[in-house]
Amino acid sequence: MQKLLSHKWLLLSLFVAILAGRTLLTSRHFYTHDDIQVFRVNEFIECFKRGEIPCRWSANLGKGYGYPWFNYYPPMIYIISGLIHLSGFSIIASLNLLMFLSFILATWGMYLLVKELTDRGDLAFLGSTLFTLYPFHATNVFLRGVYAENLAWSLTPFVLLAISRQIKSGRFSHSLPFLFAGIFLTHIISSFLVVGFAVFWLILFSCKTWRQLLLQILLGIGISAFFFLPAIFEKNLVQSESLIQGYYAYFNHFVSLKQLFLEYKWNYGASYWADPPQEMGFMIGHVHTIFLGILLVIGLFSRRKIKQQKLIFGLLFATGFVLFLTHPKSAFIWQLLPSLAYIQFPWRFVGWAGIPLVISASLLMKYLPRLLSYSITLLVTIALLLYSYPFFFPRDYDIYSDADFLTGSLRADQQTKSLFDYLPKTVHQIPTIQSGIFYFPGWTSRTKIEVDAETGVIVDTSPDLAWRETPFRLAMDIVSVISLIGYVMYNKWYAKN
């Protein structure tokens, strides 16, 4: 009992996480904007059963003609949910459990990070609760259904924690390369944001360990090279421009200051497509903004010396800058950096702004009298539960099972959703006859492969047609193996010396 009481703040934090994610502990399906993953998890498992490691090609996506989905979409969520499924759960339940796991990770990571920075369990509890019940967290889970992005977001506090401990101890963090590799294998857009956060975090503390961080990022890229580098350097093989055109053009998805700070809005509609009353909300959350505002006023007029002033103001600057990128006034930055267009939705940054916002608020609390900070922690927790908790529910559950997605009425829809995201450039016209295979580099045959000039379908498939790694992909596979072996050998050498 004494041992449990010594971890009371962590246990309370995990209780909040379980409370927020409890509706995911079910095998029932609920609709989200990105409702595409049940079929893809099954495709990933089938890919492995065929002996294709690493998996790159889906045999049944692309309207049944095959599709290079796994060459461009990171494998981590499919690996985890696939393993859960193979242990006896349905695919729907496996995806729900994966999302529930991300709640635990987000809470645990932020708790450990704030505890490291403040050395106080109560503030770590407050920080983790602010993070877990951040309104856009609910948006990502129950509205958008972005398993990969949410997992990367949940892992980010662990990256910042590992960097902090590395700076403090002066010792090389053995977990950081794997954390970076894990995020590179989880969500590409998020991986660039996390690296940016990591570099900024290092600058706020000390640049003395920049060589270590650079090596760890490079090791992370090396370990994940089998996927990460082909996904980037083979973008020219697919019609990826569809990802940044039409609905997905970033200028359609800026938000106003009113939407960020003033609105109390929770709807299950989409961005831009939906009528304004039904459109999704983009709020930071009144509890978060009012709480941070009060702390800033107290901090400005307080006579107590704030030792972590550089860190706090750096985090506040980061919060403001990340939120600025969601506003139309930041359009010049988006135009200056064309690659930002692949972020698609500027409001995506609302979720990422929560990380520095929560950390800065938790740090400011450290400089209040202990009794006052306890009282505020209690009040803010109650306010958060009343304010944000209603968001952490699906719109409704439906009656669909795995079979509906894999062989039933939803199969055709699943095969064609997001069809143009990574459609091979050889396809100029979608064929109407349901037979054949789309050509994509990786298909090999002893005879010359002929491809229809319009549809991109392989003509007269021979019996020896097979999927193989291209020289470039094989080289990246080897880089991953060498990086992993080299990292293990370095750890052994480091331990001895």
For 178, 180, 254, the CA distances from 188, given in Å and listed in that order, are 15, 11, 21
| Contact predicate 179/158, CB 8 Å | yes
- Any idea which residue has 């039933």 for tokens? 408
- Nearest by Cα to 107 from 136, 137, 84: 137
What string of DSSP letters covers 384-440?
HHHHHGGGSS-S-B-S--HHHHHTSTTHHHHHHTTTTTS-BTT-SS--SSS-S-B--
- Nearest by Cα to 377 from 120, 161, 158: 120
pTM of the model: 0.94
Rounded distance, CA 227 to CA 221, Å? 9
**DSSP label at 281?**
P
At 220, the amino acid letter reads G
| Contact predicate 217/467, CB 8 Å | no
Rounded distance, CA 481 to CA 169, Å? 29
- How many CA atoms lie within 13 Å of 437's alpha carbon, on the beta-carbon side? 19
Rounded distance, CA 141 to CA 100, Å? 9
Residue-wise pLDDT for 164-193, tens only, equals: 999 999 888 999 999 999 999 999 999 999
- Run of H or E residues at 451: strand 450-451
What string of DSSP letters covers 221-236?
HHHTHHHHHHHHHTGG
SS3 labels along 18-69: HHHHHHHCCCCCECCCCCCHHHHHHHHHHHHHCCCCCCCCECCCCCCCCECH
Nearest-5° Cα angle at 322, 363 to 248: 145
Rounded distance, CA 443 to CA 364, Å? 58
pLDDT tens for each residue of the chain, 497 residues long = 667 777 899 999 999 999 999 999 999 999 999 899 999 999 999 999 999 999 999 999 999 999 999 999 999 999 999 999 999 999 999 999 999 999 999 999 999 999 999 999 999 999 999 999 999 999 999 999 999 999 999 999 999 999 999 999 988 899 999 999 999 999 999 999 999 999 999 999 887 889 999 999 999 999 999 999 999 999 999 998 889 999 999 999 999 999 999 988 888 888 876 566 667 889 999 999 999 988 888 777 766 667 788 899 999 999 999 999 999 999 999 999 999 999 999 999 999 999 999 999 999 999 888 899 999 999 999 999 999 988 999 999 999 999 999 998 899 899 988 888 999 999 988 887 666 899 999 999 888 888 888 889 988 767 778 899 999 999 999 999 999 998 888 877 776 76
Residue-wise pLDDT for 358-414, tens only, equals: 999 999 999 888 899 999 999 999 999 999 988 999 999 999 999 999 998 899 899
Rounded distance, CA 483 to CA 489, Å? 10
Q: What percent of the chain has pLDDT over 70?
A: 96
